[in-house]
């Protein structure tokens, strides 16, 4: 009798195990389970694959993956004459994306990332390693899905052979993944063109900015492109080139030793600068509280010597701000990059490289690619 009971228990446990294998979350219906998983950050989501084969299959579902929240994964570095380089933000294991964009290597010999926006990367490319700097074209790719689209020649580039006088920026919103835009202009904004993935063509538009000189990386926020200028103002334009504007920066930011930088975090525009006076060198960070009224609030002030040490502070410049939290990234121009948490005041070294100049923050995106992509 006892032997029979043990056999019955084993059969029951085996049956329960089979049921668990079929349904990863037990009796939880598939609909609510998918909804829950789609809200889990992607890095945590990936860990569930190790639980069992059913979990592996469930977590490999592209419909769940593309809805999963993404966070900043690292930085692409712009290295002329070299293949793309990627700095993994976690510093552990393999990055979530191919750091060298190898999936483009069969089509393009030399690639240089120029700008990241919403998970897509805008690159310059050359047909061979023996390149002329003014003989390049543009390609937009998604490192997370390995999809890409080659852009037709830019009308500005055909008219002006001086590559240094043409700037290119990518505009893409993961919430509207069916389209992207590329905004380009000459250095003095006398010529402006916009590429739309909807039409597959460039459009020349009349510039609304006069006597402006852009600096740093742009910010694409709320359907609008934002650029800091050497005139200590932020100029703005919509993706169709119809609505041009300007946002004033805080007055004391004009006293900074270097030009200010801008970024976006948690749906707001941020600006920061290094203020170096005789007594102390400080990082100052502002958040735009009232977009329409250009009302800024001082978010944080910290002495650079507390972040890098007194012997290295004169070489510091800001890199970016984290899109999901109050975390700002800086480099000392000697190859060391750190993150500074404005809430906890903690400092973390994220890596060292020959130079972090022009580092481009990257957030993965698994959304569907526009229909004309490869």
Q: Are 45 and 174 part of one and the same domain?
A: no
Does residue 236 have a pLDDT over 90? yes
More confident residue, 95 or 342: 342
On whether residue 300 sits in a domain, the answer given is yes
C-alpha angle 85/90/92, rounded to 5°? 85
Q: Which residue has 């460039």 as its token pair? A: 202
Q: What residues does 261 pair with on adjacent strands? A: 272
Q: Which of 64-78, 145-159, 189-203 has the lowest mean pLDDT?
A: 64-78
pLDDT score for 163:
47
Assess if residue 29 is contained within a domain: no
Higher pLDDT, 55 or 116: 116
Alpha-carbon gap, residue 108 to 312, rounded angstroms: 40
Tens-digit pLDDT profile for residues 271-319: 998 887 767 788 999 999 988 778 899 999 999 888 887 655 557 888 8
My answer on whether 238 and 105 are in the same domain is yes
Mean pLDDT of 253-264: 82
Does 22 reside within a domain?
Answer: no
Has residue 16 been placed in a domain?
no
Note the pLDDT tens digit of each residue in 348-373.
Answer: 988 777 667 678 899 888 877 765 56
Q: Is the per-residue pLDDT at 246 higher than 80?
A: yes
pLDDT at 162: 47
Dihedral of alpha carbons 216, 153, 246, 119, sign: negative
Same domain membership, residue 273 and residue 179: yes
93 located within any domain? yes
pLDDT for res 138: 94
* CATH classification of the domain holding 84: 2.120.10.30
Q: Is the pLDDT of residue 29 over 60?
A: no
Of 19, 48, 63, the residue that ends a domain is 63
Q: Are residues 47 and 168 in the same domain?
A: no
Establish if 6 belongs to a structural domain.
no
Residues 75 and 53 in one domain: no
CB-CB neighbours of 288 under 10 Å: 22
Q: What share of the chain has pLDDT > 90, as a percent?
A: 33
Task: Evaluate whether 87 touches 331 at the Cβ level (below 8 Å).
Answer: no
Regarding whether 291 and 212 lie in a shared domain, the answer is yes
In-domain check, residue 370: no
Residue 2 lies in a domain: no
Higher local confidence (pLDDT), 140 or 209: 140
| Number of structural domains in the chain | 2
Does 54 lie in the same domain as 129?
Answer: no
Contact 203, 182 (CB under 8 A): no
Query: Do residue 278 and residue 316 come from a single domain?
Result: yes
Do 81 and 202 belong together in one domain? Answer: yes
| Residue 200 and residue 295 share a domain | yes
**228: part of which helix (H) or strand (E)?**
strand 224-229
Statement to judge: residues 45 and 106 lie in one domain: no
55 and 79 together in one domain: no
Q: End-to-end alpha-carbon separation of the chain, Å?
A: 67
Proportion of the chain above pLDDT 70, given as a percent = 72
- Residue 105's domain comprises 70-362
């Amino acid at each position: 009798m006892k032997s029979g009971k043990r056999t019955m228990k084993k059969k029951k446990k085996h049956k329960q195990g089979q049921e668990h294998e079929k349904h990863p979350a037990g009796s939880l219906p598939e609909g609510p389970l998918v909804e829950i998983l789609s809200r889990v950050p992607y890095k945590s989501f990936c860990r569930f694959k190790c639980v069992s084969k059913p979990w592996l299959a469930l977590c490999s579902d592209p419909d769940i993956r593309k809805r999963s929240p993404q966070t900043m994964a690292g930085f692409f570095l712009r290295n002329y004459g070299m293949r793309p380089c990627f700095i993994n933000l976690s510093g552990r294991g393999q990055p979530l994306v191919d750091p060298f964009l190898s999936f483009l290597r069969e089509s393009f010999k030399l690639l240089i990332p120029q700008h990241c926006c919403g998970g897509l990367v805008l690159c310059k490319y050359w047909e061979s390693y023996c390149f002329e700097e003014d003989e390049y074209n543009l390609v937009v790719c998604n490192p997370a899905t390995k999809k890409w689209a080659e852009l037709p020649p830019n009308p500005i580039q055909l008219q002006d052979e001086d590559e240094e006088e043409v700037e290119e920026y990518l505009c893409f919103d993961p919430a509207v993944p069916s389209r992207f835009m590329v905004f380009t202009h000459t250095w003095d904004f006398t010529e402006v063109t916009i590429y739309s993935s909807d039409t597959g063509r460039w459009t020349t538009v009349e510039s609304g900015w006069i006597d402006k000189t852009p600096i740093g990386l742009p910010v694409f926020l709320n359907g609008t492109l934002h650029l800091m200028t050497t005139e200590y103002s932020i100029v703005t334009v919509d993706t169709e080139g119809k609505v041009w504007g300007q946002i004033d920066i805080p007055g004391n930011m004009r006293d900074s030793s270097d030009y200010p930088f801008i970024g976006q975090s948690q749906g707001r525009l941020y600006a920061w600068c290094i203020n170096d006076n005789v007594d102390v060198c400080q990082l100052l960070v502002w958040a735009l509280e009232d977009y329409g009224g250009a009302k800024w609030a001082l978010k944080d002030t910290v002495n650079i010597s507390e972040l890098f040490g007194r012997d290295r502070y004169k070489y510091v410049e800001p890199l970016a701000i984290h899109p999901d939290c109050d975390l700002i990234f800086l480099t000392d121009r000697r190859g060391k990059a750190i993150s500074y948490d404005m809430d906890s005041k903690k400092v973390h070294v994220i890596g060292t490289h020959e130079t972090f100049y022009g580092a481009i923050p990257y957030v993965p995106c698994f959304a569907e690619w526009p229909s004309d992509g490869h």
